[in-house]
């Protein structure tokens, strides 16, 4: 097994390095084929030779006003840019009315399979304009090309850095958990190998099968692999340690440990995998691509943790647990209060007053969920970075001295016969500053509409909606006009995200419910557990929203809702699955009440450690200097901690006790849930639920 994984690593590791080269962070590439902005791109490519091009807007500004030398420099830059980097005509210089700023637009070559094609050209354009520029002349590159380059720079090199930081965080927490200078290394080595193999598989699918990969899905793959892999390792190692106290032969102990933990691990991996694959039914390409990426990571981590990790532990023997090496102990009971003192006390509290516990916990979660009222969507580009970048600064200069939409006019494509009507109709729409004819080819006319508001603002999106409505009500060919551009992309993305929420959230809930029914074979338990996860998600969103406001990043991208839902429901249910799988096993041995309390006692430490580690690894996303990554990490971390400390520890076991043995119907008969005599030691092979 070790040789097999080393061979996989040899191939996958070499391919993983190329993952950044196949990422596509162009927002237009994420859109559904039915979106107007997508159709606009297709028309531009077919009739106006705009295929694989992106526009960089170079903004010049000087406090006190541009000098003749500045204007001469800009003219010289236009010539050099046209000669060295542009793939089309560089626009004439546009000077603001106050003579403080000017800009030129430069079309640059892009490649759907290699971000470096565009980013290298943007950087070359920056070098051309900065070399020998007059002192005091401020030069920024904005527009679509500038924005894409800033995002590419943010994510450049982050794959390896994120993996390193996540592994470091997991290492510290594992060291504290195991209190062994050796044992913590084994899960991390396994996770690292699995993560690299997963990245290699994703690279191959992106390169040769058209899988959409962007910066978000790439870093989610890294963090998820470490977090989920560490969770699985904690559960397996905990079970292995128990069996080493019962069996001298470590091969037998590991076989029993794998057999005992496999149902929970398989159910967890299957739930996350199938729930993630539901994303392929989303309308946006970025959503469709994220699902397979997550599924690949989880599946490979699962196989690594149930094959490579056991192999390494068996090969290395008991000494990896040093200094607390587990030895065969007569009468050993892993479920005793002495083994799990703190969690035995928590279980006792839940057992004494289960109704008061679950009602109190539900009320706390409900109050936390009220924070949802503070959620604000409509994040602009300026609000997407935690620091300053040229594309945002340049856009701010544009908004100050020109109509704010000058850097990214709306594109209108209309049949020649309807061009005059479309020009008149669009020009009358409030929010439109001017309309100009750019070109006419192949029976189509390309119009540009400069908006009064910044291209990524809510007002600009409203104006695009008004333009589309006005054109659809127009007479003749103008009614079939197509509206695209940066603002149109933002509008179509927002609408697509709303459609995805309506479709995917119920679908994912249905998948999780089915998985719980298959695992537990208990209808009441499955519905209760699903409801607890939904309540936990609401509390996580409400709490995280208040936290975002406290950090001065109150607005969220609407896609955060679906992102948080998929991960919090799929991952949050993990800990409940771990608990209830063990509970069902113990109920068969001890009866309903003692089985539930024993499961809380024996799984408390390992599941809590797993939750803390997974939450900490998602917090690593804060290392990426984008607000969306920070918000994603904090939202998932808050949700996982709520699932770990409130839902799994208090709410679920208290509800199970209050409902009584009917909680398990029809999976377990009343006879199977009746109280039993105390179980002191269990040496037989654990049941597979």
Q: Give the pLDDT confidence score for residue 494 in this predicted structure.
A: 87
Q: What angle do CA 523, 525, 531 make, to 5 degrees?
A: 105
pTM: 0.81
Q: Give 681's pLDDT tier (boundaries 50, 70, 90).
A: very low
Q: Please return the burial class of 140, using the count of CB atoms within 10 Å of its CB with bins 0-12, 13-18 and 19+.
A: buried
Q: Which pLDDT does position 231 carry in this prediction?
A: 86
- Percent of the chain residues topping a pLDDT of 70: 92
Separation CA 248–CA 239 (nearest Å) = 15
Is a pLDDT exceeding 80 seen at residue 69? yes
- Which of 151-160, 252-261, 399-408, 533-542 is predicted least confidently? 151-160
Q: Which helix (H) or strand (E) holds 652?
A: helix 652-659
What confidence tens digit (pLDDT) does each residue in 340-368 have?
Answer: 578 888 999 999 999 999 999 999 999 99
Q: Among 435, 415, 518, which residue's Cα sits nearest to residue 475?
A: 415
Whether residue 666 is preceded by a cis peptide bond, meaning omega within 30 degrees of 0, is yes
Q: Is the pLDDT of residue 570 over 60?
A: yes
Render pLDDT for 191-204 as a digit per residue (tens, 0 to 9).
888 888 888 888 88
Rounded Cα–Cα distance for residues 137 and 73 (Å): 10
pLDDT digits (tens, 9 = 90+) for 253-294: 999 999 988 888 898 899 889 988 999 898 888 888 888 999
Q: What is the DSSP string of 525-590?
A: HHHHHHHHHHHHHHHHHHHHHHHHHHTT--EE-THHHHHHHHHHHHHHHHHHHHHHHHHHHHHHHH
Strand, helix or coil for residue 428: coil
- Quick check: 129 pLDDT over 90? yes
Q: Read off the tokens for 39.
A: 């159709």
Q: For the chain, give the mean pLDDT.
A: 86
pLDDT of residue 687: 38
Asked if residues 288 and 276 have their Cβ atoms less than 8 Å apart, the reply is no
Tokens encoding 106: 């430069």
> How confident is the model at residue 672, as a pLDDT?
60
Q: Using the predicted structure, report yes or no on whether residue 669 has a pLDDT greater than 90.
A: no
Instruction: Say whether pLDDT at 235 is over 50.
Output: yes
User: Which has the closest alpha carbon to 4: 12, 258, 195?
Assistant: 12
Instruction: Indicate whether 338 pLDDT > 60.
Output: no
Q: Are strands 444-451 and 53-61 parallel, antiparallel or unpaired?
A: unpaired
Q: Residue 376 pairs with which residues in a beta bridge?
A: 555
Given a cut of 70, whether residue 29 has pLDDT beyond it is: no
CA 250, CA 325: separation in Å to the nearest integer?
12
């Amino acid at each position: 097994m070790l040789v097999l994984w080393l061979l996989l690593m040899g191939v996958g590791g070499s391919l993983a390095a190329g993952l950044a080269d196949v990422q596509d962070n162009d927002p237009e590439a994420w859109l559904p084929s039915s979106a107007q902005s997508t159709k606009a791109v297709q028309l531009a490519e077919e009739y106006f030779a705009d295929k694989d091009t992106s526009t960089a807007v170079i903004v010049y500004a000087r406090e006190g006003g541009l000098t003749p030398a500045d204007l001469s420099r800009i003219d010289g830059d236009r010539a050099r840019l046209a000669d060295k980097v542009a793939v089309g005509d560089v626009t004439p210089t546009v000077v603001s009315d106050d003579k403080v700023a000017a800009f030129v637009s430069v079309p640059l070559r892009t490649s759907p399979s290699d971000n470096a094609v565009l980013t290298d050209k943007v950087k070359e354009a920056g070098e051309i304009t900065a070399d020998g520029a007059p002192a005091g002349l401020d030069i920024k590159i904005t527009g679509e090309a500038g924005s894409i380059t800033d995002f590419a720079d943010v994510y450049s090199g982050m794959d390896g850095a994120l993996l390193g930081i996540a592994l470091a965080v997991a290492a510290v927490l594992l060291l504290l958990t195991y209190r062994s200078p050796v044992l913590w290394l084994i899960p991390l080595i396994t996770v690292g190998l699995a993560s690299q193999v997963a990245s290699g598989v994703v690279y191959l699918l992106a390169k040769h099968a058209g899988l959409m990969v962007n910066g978000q899905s790439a870093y989610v793959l890294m963090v998820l692999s470490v977090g989920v892999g560490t969770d699985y390792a904690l559960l397996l190692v905990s079970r292995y340690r128990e069996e080493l106290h019962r069996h001298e032969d470590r091969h037998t102990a590991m076989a029993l440990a794998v057999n005992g933990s496999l149902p929970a691990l398989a159910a967890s991996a299957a739930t996350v995998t199938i729930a993630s694959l539901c994303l392929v039914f989303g309308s946006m390409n970025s959503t469709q691509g994220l699902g397979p990426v997550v599924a690949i990571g989880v599946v490979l981590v699962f196989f690594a943790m149930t094959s490579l990790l056991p192999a390494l532990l068996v090969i290395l023997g008991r000494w990896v647990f040093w200094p607390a090496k587990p030895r065969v102990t007569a009468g050993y009971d892993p479920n005793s209060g002495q083994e799990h003192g703190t969690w035995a006390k928590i279980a006792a509290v839940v057992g004494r007053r289960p109704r008061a516990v679950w009602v109190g916990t539900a009320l706390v979660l409900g109050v936390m969920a009220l924070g949802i009222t503070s959620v604000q969507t409509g994040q602009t580009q300026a609000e997407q970075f935690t620091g300053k970048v040229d594309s945002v600064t340049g856009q701010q200069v544009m908004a100050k001295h020109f109509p704010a939409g000058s850097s990214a006019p709306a594109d209108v494509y209309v049949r020649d016969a309807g061009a005059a009507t479309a020009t008149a109709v669009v020009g009358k729409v409030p929010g439109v500053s001017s309309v100009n004819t750019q070109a006419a080819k192949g029976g189509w006319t390309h119009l540009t509409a400069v908006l009064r508001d910044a291209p990524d603002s809510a007002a600009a999106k409203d104006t695009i909606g008004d333009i589309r409505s006005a054109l659809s009500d127009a007479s003749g060919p103008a009614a079939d006009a197509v509206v695209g551009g940066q603002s149109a992309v933002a509008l179509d993305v927002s609408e697509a995200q709303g459609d995805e929420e309506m479709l995917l959230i119920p679908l994912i809930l249905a998948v999780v419910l089915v998985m719980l029914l298959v695992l537990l074979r208990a209808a009441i338990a499955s519905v209760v557990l699903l409801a607890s996860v939904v309540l936990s998600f609401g509390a996580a969103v409400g709490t995280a929203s208040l936290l975002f406001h406290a950090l001065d990043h109150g607005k969220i991208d609407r896609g955060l809702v679906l992102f948080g839902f998929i991960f919090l429901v799929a991952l949050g249910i993990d800990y409940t699955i771990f608990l209830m799988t063990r509970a069902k096993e113990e109920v068969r041995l001890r009866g309903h009440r003692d089985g539930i309390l024993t499961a809380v006692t024996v799984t408390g430490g390992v599941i809590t450690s797993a939750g803390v580690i997974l939450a900490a690894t998602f917090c690593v996303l804060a290392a990426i200097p984008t607000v969306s990554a920070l918000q994603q990490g904090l939202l998932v971390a808050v949700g996982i901690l709520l699932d770990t400390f409130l839902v799994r520890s208090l709410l679920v076991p208290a509800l199970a006790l209050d409902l009584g043995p009917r909680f398990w119907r029809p999976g377990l008969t009343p006879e199977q849930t009746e109280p039993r005599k105390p179980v002191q030691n269990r040496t037989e092979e654990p049941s597979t639920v």
